[in-house]
Amino acid sequence: MQANDSVEPVSGRPSVTNGGGGTRWRVLRAHRASHADPIAVRAGDLVAVGRRDTTWPDYLWCTGPDGREGWAPEAFLGPAGGGPDESGGAAGRDVRRALRDYDARELDVAPGDVVLAGEEAGGWCWCEVEDGRSGWVPRDCLAPAMT
């Protein structure tokens, strides 16, 4: 899957362009997806957690059960809990459980584009454009659109 494939996000959130709400924003600064096939997890999946992002400190580098990697908001992750195979991994490796469905897909946008933004997490907004593409965009790339 490429960064801007027109598919429903793994989160199962309603589309912000199809009755799910959302606020109109104008793109001030271009953003390009940094990973072509980032992590996407379902609630309950175990993820291996690595470093904290220095620019976006609410985000942790994670590896999902299928081996795909990417940044995930720490607030979307909880303790692994459970049995002996879910106690934090080998040699103290940080393993956590996804508290909800999450897709790290980013949306390519250009100045002047208008997007509908729904959820916000750690300085990023889940956005959709009229052609159906969706993904995360840094909030600092956006300003309220004048109607």
Kindly state the average pLDDT of the residues 99-111.
98
Q: Which CATH class is domain 37-104?
A: mainly beta
pLDDT of 82? 59
Greater confidence (3 vs 119) lies with 119
Q: How confident is the model at residue 35 (pLDDT cuts 50, 70, 90)?
A: very high
Predicted confidence at residue 135, as pLDDT, reads 98
> What does the pLDDT read at residue 42?
98
Give Cβ neighbours of residue 108 (< 8 Å, ≥ 6 apart): 3, 4, 31, 32, 33, 133, 135
Cβ contacts of 136 within 8 Å, gap of 6 or more: 104, 105, 106, 107, 121, 124, 125, 126, 127
- Mean of pLDDT values over 123-131: 95
State the pLDDT confidence band at 81, using cuts at 50, 70 and 90.
confident
Which DSSP symbol is given to 53?
A: P
| The two domains 16-33+105-147 and 37-104 share their CATH topology (first three levels equal) | yes
Are 43 and 37 in contact, with CB atoms under 8 Å apart?
no
Which CATH architecture group holds 16-33+105-147?
Roll (2.30)
Question: Domain locations in the chain?
Answer: 16-33+105-147, 37-104
89 vs 102: which has the higher pLDDT: 102
pLDDT, residue 12, reads 42
- Provide the whole-model pTM: 0.80
Q: Which of 1-5, 33-37, 117-121 has the lowest mean pLDDT?
A: 1-5
With a cut of 60, say whether residue 4 has pLDDT above it. no
